[in-house]
């Protein structure tokens, strides 16, 4: 009686597990292995992050399969068989084994520490004379990208003496929240040149994130962040604020257009020719009510 109940319970368990697996697989019909790994890096710094990701992934996978394989082997090979009525010999302590399984994880952790340190140095490396400097102003709920000429700080672009010298890309909210005819603000940068971003928030914490650069940095009010990157693949890359920053946070998208130096200079020149932007100063005033077109030039 007890045995039959146990068997039924086991069968019910198997059916439930198969059902759960079917539900799980049906939910993953869009699953592709491509989505399970980070995107191809489009910057030198992103490639460094990607390299260490790959190394950690390979080590993690090797450890997983080794440990799971040994567990399965032990469970199957040393399972209790008919007639096994006594415990197998009980062993306590094995110095050689214990040294090995302590030393290997320590070696892995130390190697990863050194590699992470090197990667961090690559990602955070800064040159004192970046060829391109951009002021990035984040506010509820858009972005402004301010290009100031050599010798002018982006914060001073609003001064009358600098009129016509700066280029400002103003982000606008999609009218009525409708994205169909809306383009997020675009940051133009030349390929293979170091670009410095001076990240500034005028209100709450935002976050600068471009998935293709495998990079994210919070922008905290009253504490500007300076980052540098070198995009090495021409293309247009999506960006998004990734700190929930209020009602229209989801509209804080932007694009980074990586183009040839010639195209970049041509774009800058075209933007510098009149008619100039109505105001080059950051205008953090978002719309009061619903998302609507704001101060686009
Ligand atoms: Cu934000």
Q: Decide if 226 is inside a domain.
A: yes
Which pLDDT band holds residue 22 (cuts at 50, 70, 90)? confident
For residue 220, what is the domain's CATH number?
2.60.40.420
Do 113 and 141 fall into the same domain? Answer: no
Residues 224 and 64: their CA atoms lie apart, in Å, by 41
Do 110 and 164 fall into the same domain? Answer: no
Do 165 and 110 fall into the same domain? Answer: no
Ligand 1 center from residue 120 Cα (angstroms): 25
Do 42 and 173 fall into the same domain? Answer: no
The gap from C-alpha 167 to its chain's centroid, in whole angstroms, comes to 27
Encoded tokens for 273: 């020719």
Angstrom CA distances, 184 to 114, 242, 269, 291, stand at: 39, 15, 21, 13
Ligand 1 center from residue 209 Cα (angstroms): 10
Encoded tokens for 231: 């995009």
Q: Decide if 288 is inside a domain.
A: no
Encoded tokens for 81: 């068989």
Determine the structural domain holding residue 263 and report its residue range. 132-272
Q: What is the pLDDT of residues 106-163, one digit of tens each?
A: 999 999 999 999 999 999 999 999 999 999 999 999 999 999 988 889 899 888 888 8
Do 116 and 137 fall into the same domain? Answer: no
Burial (Cβ within 10 Å: 0-12, 13-18, ≥19) of residue 164: exposed
Which pLDDT band holds residue 17 (cuts at 50, 70, 90)? confident
Ligand 1 center from residue 135 Cα (angstroms): 16
Do 239 and 196 fall into the same domain? Answer: yes
Do 146 and 233 fall into the same domain? Answer: yes
Between helices 95-124 and 44-77, what is the axis angle to 10°? 160
Ligand 1 center from residue 236 Cα (angstroms): 21
Task: Taking residues 264-292, report their average pLDDT.
Answer: 65
Ligand 1 center from residue 136 Cα (angstroms): 12
245 and 141 Cβ atoms separated by less than 8 Å: yes
Ligand 1 center from residue 118 Cα (angstroms): 30
Q: Decide if 28 is inside a domain.
A: no
62 and 232 Cβ atoms separated by less than 8 Å: no
Which pLDDT band holds residue 1 (cuts at 50, 70, 90)? very low
Do 151 and 265 fall into the same domain? Answer: yes
Domain count, the chain: 2
Ligand 1 center from residue 103 Cα (angstroms): 45
Do 73 and 106 fall into the same domain? Answer: yes
Q: Decide if 286 is inside a domain.
A: no
Q: Decide if 282 is inside a domain.
A: no
pLDDT at 280: 52
Q: What percent of the chain is modeled with pLDDT above 90?
A: 59
Task: Taking residues 265-288, report their average pLDDT.
Answer: 67
Ligand 1 center from residue 45 Cα (angstroms): 23
pLDDT of 227 above 80:
yes
List the one residue out of 119, 164, 110 whose CA is nearest residue 277: 164
Ligand 1 center from residue 138 Cα (angstroms): 7
Do 137 and 250 fall into the same domain? Answer: yes
Do 174 and 223 fall into the same domain? Answer: yes
Ligand 1 center from residue 262 Cα (angstroms): 32
End-to-end CA distance of the chain: give it in Å, rounded: 82
Phi, psi for residue 171 in degrees, rounded to 5:
-80, 145
Q: What is the pLDDT of residues 34-93, one digit of tens each?
A: 777 788 899 999 999 999 999 999 999 999 999 999 999 999 999 888 888 888 888 888
pLDDT at 287: 46
Which pLDDT band holds residue 15 (cuts at 50, 70, 90)? confident
Q: Decide if 267 is inside a domain.
A: yes
Ligand 1 center from residue 147 Cα (angstroms): 21
Do 121 and 181 fall into the same domain? Answer: no
Compute the mean pLDDT over every residue in the chain, rounded to the nearest whole number. Answer: 86
pLDDT at 2: 57
pLDDT of 286 above 60:
no
pLDDT of 288 above 60:
no
Residue found by looking up tokens 């919070």 in the block: 218
């Amino acid at each position: 009686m007890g045995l039959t109940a146990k068997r039924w319970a086991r069968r019910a368990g198997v059916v439930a597990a198969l059902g759960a697996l079917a539900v799980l697989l049906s939910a993953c019909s869009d699953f592709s292995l491509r989505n399970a790994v980070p995107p191809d890096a489009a910057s030198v710094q992103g490639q460094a992050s990607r390299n260490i990701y790959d190394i950690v992934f390979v080590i993690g996978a090797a450890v997983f399969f080794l440990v799971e394989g040994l567990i399965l082997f032990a469970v199957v090979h040393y399972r209790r068989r008919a007639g096994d009525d006594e415990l197998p010999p009980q062993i306590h302590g094995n110095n050689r084994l214990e040294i090995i399984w302590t030393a290997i994880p320590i070696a892995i952790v130390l190697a990863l520490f050194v590699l992470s340190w090197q990667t961090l140095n690559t990602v955070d490396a800064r040159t004192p004379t970046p060829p391109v400097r951009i002021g990035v102003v984040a506010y509820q709920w858009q972005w402004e990208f301010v290009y100031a000429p050599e010798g002018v700080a982006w914060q001073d672009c609003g001064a009358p003496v600098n009129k016509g010298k700066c280029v400002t890309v103003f982000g606008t909210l999609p009218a009525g929240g409708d994205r169909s005819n809306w383009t997020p603000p675009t940051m133009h940068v030349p390929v293979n040149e170091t670009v410095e971003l001076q990240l500034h928030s005028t209100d709450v914490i935002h976050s600068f994130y471009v998935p293709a650069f495998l990079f994210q940095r919070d922008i905290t009010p009253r504490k500007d962040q300076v980052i540098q990157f070198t995009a090495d693949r021409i293309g247009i890359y999506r960006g998004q604020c990734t700190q929930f920053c209020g009602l229209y946070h989801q509209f804080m998208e932007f694009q980074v257009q990586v183009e040839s130096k010639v195209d970049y200079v041509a774009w800058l020149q075209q933007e510098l020719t009149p008619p100039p932007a109505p105001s080059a100063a950051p205008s953090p005033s978002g719309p009061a009510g619903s998302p609507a077109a704001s101060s686009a030039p």
